[in-house]
């Protein structure tokens, strides 16, 4: 049986993903750059050429995304 906090955590993570997709789409509509985390620092990429970040770029990101 799942604990209620697990359900809230899943709901929160799903909401965060929806918000990120929505924000990314707004940057695309307004031809803005998108900040991403790569090699321990923030980089800005063109939203027109980027469709999705290519996987986790470091161990911390992998852990947040449920990887090892």
Per-residue pLDDT, 15 = 93
Written as tens digits, the pLDDT of the chain (68 aa) is 667 777 888 899 999 989 988 988 898 899 899 888 888 899 998 877 765 555 555 665 555 555 54
Indicate whether this model's pTM tops 0.75.
no
Looking at the structure of the chain, the number of domains it has is: 1
DSSP bridge pairs for 43: 36
- Residue 41 has a pLDDT of 92
Tokens linked to 20: 């990120």
**Residue-level pLDDT at 2:** 63
CA angle 42, 20, 50 (to 5 degrees): 60
Boundaries of domain holding 45: 4-64
């Amino acid at each position: 049986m799942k604990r209620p906090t697990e359900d809230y955590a899943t709901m929160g993570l799903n909401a965060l993903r929806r918000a990120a997709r929505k924000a990314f789409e707004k940057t695309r509509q307004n031809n803005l750059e998108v900040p991403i985390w790569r090699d321990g620092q923030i980089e800005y990429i063109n939203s027109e050429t980027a469709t999705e970040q290519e996987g986790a770029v470091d161990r911390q990101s992998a852990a947040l995304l449920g990887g090892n």
